[in-house]
A = this chain, B = another copy of it.
Amino acid sequence: MSLRHAALGLLSAGPASGYDLLKTFEISLAEVWPATQSQLYGELGRLAKEGLVRVVSEGPRGRKEYEITEEGLAELRHWLVEVAPNLSRRNDMLLRVFFLDQVDADAARGYLERLAQQAVHEHDQLRGVRESVISQGDDALRMYGDIALEWGLRLTAAQRDWAEWAAARVAALEQQKAGHAAAE
């Protein structure tokens, strides 16, 4: 149930409408905690009913500006440091690896090589983001964004290395088997 905390977190930076938050979810938070409108608007309603956020003003087009309340802030801080992060570990990519013996070595190697390429691509994109962000200053405010970005960079680098290593292992086994076959 972290969508609510994501919403609270965004509102902790200042009041915003559901529409505003949605934009942030699509842009900044898409890689970490994607959300659809239906979910977000629903959650905002619930948060308001529970008093963790409050409607501060109604703008044009029925726009409702939400503000985080003291209770909301308390809940956010509580969640941040006192609630154990549940490492939601579902990993489609890794699940496939377990069953890769169901396809031939060529296909398996292809899969792993594609993973490596994807990792390189994502890594490059993140580097691009860092370049574009590095120009505008204020170290203190940007720190946690930087730290998150660094996580992405390290993860994609590790993923690339691993996938390349794995592809090489599969290739080595392929070779070995080919050798055996030739020797018979």
Contact = CB atoms under 8 A, between A and B. Distances in A.
A92 B81 contact: no
A183 interface: no
B32 A89 contact: yes
Contacts of A115: 85
17 contacts: A9-B102, A29-B98, A32-B89, A32-B90, A76-B99, A77-B103, A79-B96, A81-B108, A85-B115, A88-B91, A88-B92, A94-B148, A97-B148, A99-B144, A100-B147, A101-B141, A150-B166
A144 B101 contact: yes
6 closest Cβ contacts across the A-B interface? A9-B99, A85-B93, A158-B158, A147-B166, A100-B144, A97-B148
A19 B161 CA distance: 37
A12 B98 contact: no
Given A103-B81, A162-B154, A9 B95 contact: yes
B81 A85 contact: no
Interface in A2-28: 2, 5-6, 9, 12, 28
A73 interface: yes
A154 B148 contact: no
Q: Which of A80, A165, A173 has the most chain B CB within a 10 Å cutoff?
A: A80
A151 B140 contact: no
Nearest to A28: B98
Q: Which of A2, A34, A98 has the most chain B CB within a 10 Å cutoff?
A: A98
